Amino acid sequence: MAARSTGSPWRTALLAPTGLAAAAGLAVLVLLVIFGPVIWGADATTADPLSLSQPPGAVHLFGTDAGGRDVLARTMTAARLSVLMALAASVFGVLCGVVVGSLPSVMPPRLGRAVVSIFNFAIAFPGLLLTIFLSVIFGQGATGALFAIGVSIIPVYARLTHTLSSSVGGRDFVAAARILGVGKVRVVARHILPNIAGPLIVNASVTAGGALIAFASLSFLGLGVQPPEFDWGRMLNEGLSKIFVNPATALAPGIAVVLAGIVFTLAGETLARATGVNPGLTHRLPRWIPRPALPAGNVLDDVSGNASGDAVLRVRNLRVAVPHADGWREPVKGVSFDVGRGEVVGIVGESGSGKSLSCLSVAGLTDFPLKVTADTIVFDGVETLRGEHRPAGVSARAVERLLGTRMAMVFQDPMSSLNPSLRVGGQVAEAGFIHGGLTRRQAWAKAVRRLADVKIPDPARRARQHPHELSGGMRQRAMIAMGLMGNPALIIADEPTTALDVTVQREVLSVLHDVQVDSAAAILLISHDIAVVTGLCSRVLVMYQGEIVEEIATADLVAGRARHPYTRALLAAVPTMDTDRSQPMATIAEVPA
Partner 1 sequence: MTTTMSALPARAPRRPATGWFAPGSWSLFAVRRGGRFLVAIVVLVTAAFLMLQLIPGDPARESVGATAPVEAVNLRRHELGLDQPLWVQYFRFWGGLLTGHPGTSITLRMPVADVIGSRFPATAELAVITLVVVLVLAIPLGLLAAALTRGGRRRGLELGFTSVTGFFSVVPEFLMGVGLVYLFAVSTQLLPVAGRGGPTSYVLPVAALSIGSTAALARIVRAEALGVLGNDYIRTARAKRMPAIRLYLRHALPNLMTSTLTIAGLFLGSLIAGTVLVESIFAWPGLGMTIVDSIRSKDYPLAQTLVVVYGAIVLGINLVVDVLLAILDPRSTIKES
Euclidean distance between CA atoms 516 and 511, whole angstroms = 9
**DSSP assignment letter at 468:** G
Minimal distance in Å, beta carbon 409 to partner 1? Answer: 4
Sign of CA dihedral 90, 279, 11, 266: negative
For residues 22 and 423, what is the distance between their CA atoms, to the nearest angstrom? Answer: 49
**Are 463 and 474 spatial neighbours (Cβ–Cβ below 8 Å)?**
no
What is the spatial distance between Cα 213 and Cα 393, in angstroms, rounded to a whole number? 60
- Least CB distance to partner 1 at residue 231 (A): 14
CB nearer to partner 1: give 525 or 548: 525
Please count the helices (runs of H) and the strands (runs of E) in the chain: 22, 10
Residue 79: its H or E element: helix 71-106
Using only C-alpha atoms, what is the Rg of the chain?
35
Comparison of 35 and 133: residue with beta carbon closer to partner 1: 133
User: Please, which residue, 258 or 296, has the CB nearer to partner 1?
Assistant: 258
**Residue closer to partner 1, measured from CB, 91 or 415:** 415
Backbone angle region of 269, left / alpha / beta, with phi > 0 → left and psi within -120 to 50 → alpha: alpha
Closest approach of Cβ 400 to partner 1, in Å? 4
User: In the complex with partner 1, which residue's Cβ is closer, 17 or 309?
Assistant: 17
Helices (H), 466-581: 472-483, 502-519, 530-536, 554-558, 565-572
How many whole angstroms from its chain centre is CA 19?
23
The nearest distance, CB 138 to partner 1, in angstroms, is: 8
Phi, psi of 209 (to 5 degrees): -60, -45
- Rounded least distance, CB 326 to partner 1, Å: 17
Which CB sits closer to partner 1, 221 or 571?
221
Closest distance to partner 1 from the beta carbon of 513 (Å):
22
**Which residue, 280 or 391, has its beta carbon nearer to partner 1?**
280
- Cβ 33 vs Cβ 79: under 8 Å: yes
State the nearest-atom distance from the C-beta of 257 to partner 1, in Å.
Answer: 6
| Interacting residues toward partner 1 by CB under 8 A | 121, 124-129, 132-133, 135-140, 209, 213, 216-217, 220-223, 236, 240, 243-244, 247, 250-251, 254, 257-258, 261-262, 265, 281-285, 363, 365, 367-369, 400-401, 403-404, 409, 411, 413, 416-422, 427, 430-431, 434-435, 466, 468-469, 479, 482
CA distance 414 to 418: 7
* Dihedral sign from CA coordinates of 109, 112, 116, 122: positive
Smallest gap, in angstroms, from Cβ of residue 396 to partner 1? 10
The nearest distance, CB 402 to partner 1, in angstroms, is 9
If DSSP codes are grouped into helix, strand and coil, which group holds residue 220? helix
The CB-of-323 to partner 1 minimum distance in angstroms stands at 9
Q: In sequence order, what are the residues at sequence separation of 6 or more whose Cβ sits closer than 8 angstroms to the Cβ of residue 397?
A: none
CA–CA distance, 160 with 153 (Å, rounded to integer):
11
Smallest distance, partner 1 to C-beta of residue 9, A: 21
Between CA 316 and CA 293 the distance in angstroms is 12
Residue 132 C-alpha from the chain's centroid: 37
Which residue, among 345, 294, 337, 304, has the nearest Cα to 318 in the 3D structure? 337
SS3 148: helix
From CA 396, how far away is CA 462, in angstroms rounded? 35
Query: Which CB, 140 or 519, lies closer to partner 1?
Result: 140
Task: State residue 216 phi and psi, 5-degree precision.
Answer: -60, -40
Smallest distance from the beta carbon of 399 to partner 1, in angstroms?
8
